[in-house]
């Protein structure tokens, strides 16, 4: 069963004109690597193919952009995306809110396992073209230098661009109507009900302003 974050990603991209294909899931047990004092258990994370529904496979240049938003979707045609969930190994809310500790989590958990997840990716799994290598994360630190240091770490691992769960949530809350019969999935129905009862407001997303 896919995680809520993966369901959120699917809802977001399909609403914006893309197909999503699950290339392979996270295994039940970590993929062990050679044991050393520095090495910890490695694991493959969920990997998705993202393709524009029109069949276009040529991406526009990112032009220096790293964290992507809805306004960047027009240039996206083909990508592979690795999903690091809130329940990912070693991640807690206190770590996420602490720039230094979150940077360490990026270095020790995300960087090596992003690379591992893409290792051996069969080019026959996606259409002809050069896909952007995208990562889906809870977010990036707000303050410097931690934000830029995390970006630099991700780039050294081969990450071309990043989406955050907050970006997806903001977009879905704005798009989902409170009208009955408007929901397209269980997730969008939950968002609709939260808006009906005014537990979350669009577009300000006051519920998430502390993040």
Confidence of residue 1 (pLDDT cuts 50, 70, 90): low
Quickly state the pLDDT bin for 182 (edges 50, 70, 90).
Answer: low
Mean pLDDT computed over 204-211: 47
Residue 106's closest CA among 157, 66, 70?
A: 157
Is the predicted pLDDT of residue 22 greater than 70, yes or no? yes
Measured distance CA(10)–CA(184) in Å, rounded: 11
List b or e across 54-65, with b for residues whose CB sees 16 or more CB atoms inside 10 angstroms: eeeeebeeeeee
Instruction: Report d(CA 138, CA 154) in Å as an integer.
Output: 14
Please tell me the distance from the alpha carbon of residue 79 to that of residue 124, in angstroms, as a whole number: 14
Q: Identify whether the C-beta of residue 120 lies closer than 8 Å to the C-beta of residue 160.
A: no
> What pLDDT, in 10s, does the model give residues 130-176?
999 999 999 999 999 999 999 999 999 999 999 999 999 999 998 88
Q: Is 2 exposed, middle or buried (0-12, 13-18, 19+ CB in 10 A)?
A: middle
Q: What percent of the chain has pLDDT over 70?
A: 85
- Give tens-digit pLDDT for 62-86: 999 999 999 999 999 999 999 999 9
């Amino acid at each position: 069963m896919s995680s809520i974050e993966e369901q959120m990603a699917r809802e977001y991209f399909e609403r914006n004109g893309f197909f999503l294909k699950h290339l392979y899931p996270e295994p039940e047990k970590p993929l062990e690597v050679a044991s050393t004092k520095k090495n910890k258990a490695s694991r493959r994370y969920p990997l998705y193919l993202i393709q524009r529904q029109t069949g276009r496979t040529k991406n526009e240049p990112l032009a220096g952009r790293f964290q992507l938003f809805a306004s960047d979707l027009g240039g996206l045609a083909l990508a592979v995306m690795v999903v690091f969930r809130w329940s990912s190994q070693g991640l807690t809310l206190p770590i996420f809110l602490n720039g230094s500790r979150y940077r360490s989590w990026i270095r020790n958990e995300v960087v090596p396992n992003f690379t591992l997840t893409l290792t051996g990716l069969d080019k026959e799994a996606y259409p002809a073209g050069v896909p952007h290598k995208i990562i889906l994360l809870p977010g990036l630190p707000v303050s410097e230098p931690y934000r830029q240091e995390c970006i630099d770490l991700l780039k050294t691992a081969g990450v071309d661009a990043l989406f955050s769960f907050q970006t997806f949530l903001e977009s879905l809350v704005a798009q989902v109507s409170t009208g009955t019969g408007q929901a397209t999935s269980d997730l969008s129905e939950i968002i609709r009900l939260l808006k009906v009862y005014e537990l979350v407001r669009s577009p300000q997303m006051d519920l998430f302003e502390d993040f």
